[in-house]
Structure 1
Amino acid sequence: MELRQLRYFVAIVDHGSLSRAALVLHVAQPALTQQLRQLEEELGVQLLHRSAQGVLSTDAGKIFYEHAQAILKQVADARSAVAQSAERPSGSVTLGLPHSISGALALPLLTAARAQYPEITLQLTEELTGNLSDQLKSGRVNLAVLFDDGQLAQFATTPLVEEELRFICRADATYAQGEQALTLAQTLKTTLILPGLQHGVRPRIESVARQAGLVLDQVIEINSIAILKSAILADMGATILPSAPVLDELERGAMHSHRIHSPSISRTVVLCASKNIPLTNAAAAVSRLVQQVSAQLCAGDTWPGATAIAGGTSS
């Protein structure tokens, strides 16, 4: 198996056509077809379905595509690491952010990166936390912001902030009329709209509730912040989230946020890197920048409900 075969295969999938991929790669289509056939023969599976309309990945092709992308990225990172200077880092860095964090962190981080490291191309990808963990393990992202659920031992981690979770509902909902704060037991009596068990805030809420002898009985699972917000505004239920993802709705009065007590709930936001794949100088610079920007946002009260964790160190 050769790197060019991986590049060819990824290009074919990305462009959905052998002919278009051949044009982009400046390779004759018969040669491209031959390399694809050799790759399929070596793997012993069909990677693509061919038709007059183009090509589609088989199930095996979809799996191989993810691995091919990760391998090609690691090769590019290795070349960049050799070439770049520690004093003037350059190259491409991919940082994964959960949906519930990107609203607070993404734009300030992009602005700071452009100002401090103009020769670094910072690529932000917004994903569910479970997906980000898998991408970090495979090397498809260099860094990822995740939540400490006790399952991060496989990564090098740096604590960033402690983020308060609050009960959030439509402004005119009857769940919490006149109440500034609610007990956790009170919040769990409502229909809650939450991500699935493997994503975001859900594991943390389940853990705190279990320790308090409580259970979540009425849950609507939605793994999209945009759809979750629409469901709240449709009065299908309330949620337990940090304030940052619904800040616009809170500021314009469409939603209300209530503190939770007895017990309160928070989550630890951490920056994660692979223990097996070394960081390039550019990725190390972005890692430091994420820590710096997070602390500045907390100090300026522009990351609602978040408190910087002083002296966070990688493990």
Structure 2
Amino acid sequence: MIVDFRKLANFVKIIDAGSISRAAALLNTAQPALSQQLAALEQHFGQKLLLRSNSGISPTQAGLVLYRHAQFMLKYLDQATLDVERAGEVLTGHVSVGLATYSASSTLSLPIIREVRRQHPGITVHINDSFGQILSELVMSGRMDMAVIYASHPIKGTQLAPLFTEELYYVCGTDQDALFAPGAPIEVQALKGVPLVLPGKGHFLRKLIDDAFARARVELEIAAEIESISALSEAVRTGIGGAILPLSVVLGTSGLERLSAHPLIKPAISADVALCTPDPLPMSEAALAVKAVLLQVVADLPEHAAGRSIAKAL
């Protein structure tokens, strides 16, 4: 006997209804036919699946195990049917994507929007790069579909897929550039007393910078704390101070791309970038489509725009 999905669905309905007669009425099926299906299932599995009494039926231990498995199988069959039916349809929906500030993710927004428009014109993408909100918490709570964030450790309620690692550079205006050979690596110790404009202490990059300077036993000379990349760019360009940023941000920000950028060493400073998605909340078909586009956009980025690749996100 082949255990088909119809027999399993009817078996689940019998247990849910509490009696074969009630299940037959709900299914608009003759009671003897359901009894024959039940007998066939018991013969196939070699186990008694139901206990009958004057008050109705109840599953045996074996019946309860089959009931749980049948529910899962029927659920996945329904999802497979829905996915197949939608395969030929145009995906529609609203998908929100968070992008961490001061990272290569800022270069992803336009390519993602363009590619989603090309592949899935029915999907509207909402880009959020606001520093005032913790992107992982928005993803965890379901208020955002996904986010590209700085992350070095697992975050409860989310799945993290590593994308790439970004190396941090010291970038400065012409007045400070005379202190260093053009493009030459700079030891953190050499920045002692040099004014810097940096993100505030709540930013992931700032924590990495603080830790690196502490290891080098150098006290930071803070000229200003700035959360806006455009304002930080202007502060560096006009000589208020130098900045410590990923090279992708330097090259992709107007006002910074023509300034001198120096790799930092002793210690080098690097930040891991990951794609953050909800766990265990399911993603919509539209969100899954945008996720696939995002991963492809990251894979196609030139090396200088996406840092040093550390993993293939699956």
Aligned to 2:146: 143
Residue 130 of structure 2 is matched in structure 1 by 127
Supply the RMSD in Å over aligned alpha carbons: 2.6
- Cα drift, residue 219 of structure 1: 5.2
Please give the alpha-carbon distance, in whole angstroms, between the structure 2 residues aligned to 1:139 and 1:116. Answer: 25
- The 2-side partners of 1:154 and 1:203 are apart by 23
How many aligned positions are there?
227
| 1:221 corresponding residue in structure 2 | 225
Task: Report the Cα offset of residue 213 of structure 1.
Answer: 4.4
Alpha-carbon offset, residue 216 of structure 1: 2.7
Helix, strand or coil at the partner of 1:218: strand
* 1:249 and 2:241 matched: no
Matched to 1:198, the amino acid is G
1:108 aligns to 2:114 (yes or no)? no
1:158 aligns with 2:161: yes
Partner of 1:8: none
Instruction: Quote the Cα distance in structure 1 between the aligned partners of 2:166 and 2:296.
Output: 17
Match of 2:291 among 267, 270, 287: 287
| Pair 1:193 & 2:197 matched | yes
Pairing 1:307–2:313 present: no
Q: Point out where structure 2 has 5 or more consecutive residues left out of the alignment.
A: 1-81
Cα offset for 1:138?
Answer: 3.1
What is residue 266 of structure 1 aligned with on the other side?
A: 270
Q: What amino acid is aligned across from residue 92 of structure 1 in structure 2?
A: H
| 1:171 alignment partner in structure 2 | 174
Q: Please tell me the residue identity of whatever aligns with 1:128.
A: F
CA contact (8 A) 1:109 1:289 kept: yes
Secondary structure of the structure 1 residue equivalent to 2:176: coil
SS of the residue corresponding to residue 271 of structure 1 reads strand
The two structures have a TM-score, normalised by structure 2, of 0.64
Q: Secondary structure at the match of 1:257?
A: strand
Q: CA deviation at 1:214?
A: 4.2
Residue 205 (structure 1) shift: 1.6
Letter of the 2:255 partner, please give it.
E
CA contact (8 A) 1:98 1:129 kept: no
Aligned CA distance change for structure 1 residues 202 and 219 (closer, same or farther; 3 Å) = farther
Distance 2:260 2:178 in 1: 11
Residues of 2 paired with 1:211 and 1:87: CA distance?
57
- Would you say 1:118 and 2:124 are equivalent positions? no
Structure 1 residues 96, 175: CA separation in 2 closer, same or farther (over 3 Å shift)? farther
Separation in 2 of the partners of 1:181 and 1:235? 20
Give the fraction of aligned pairs with identical amino acids, expressed as a percent: 30
Contact 2:169/2:247 (<8 A) preserved: yes
Is 1:90 paired with 2:92?
yes
Q: Structure 2 CA distance, aligned partners of 1:211 and 1:204?
A: 11
Residue 193 of structure 1: how far off its partner (Å):
0.9
Larger Cα-atom Rg:
2
- Structure 1 counterpart of 2:153, which letter? G
Shift of 1:186: 1.5
Unaligned runs of 5+ in 1: 1-81
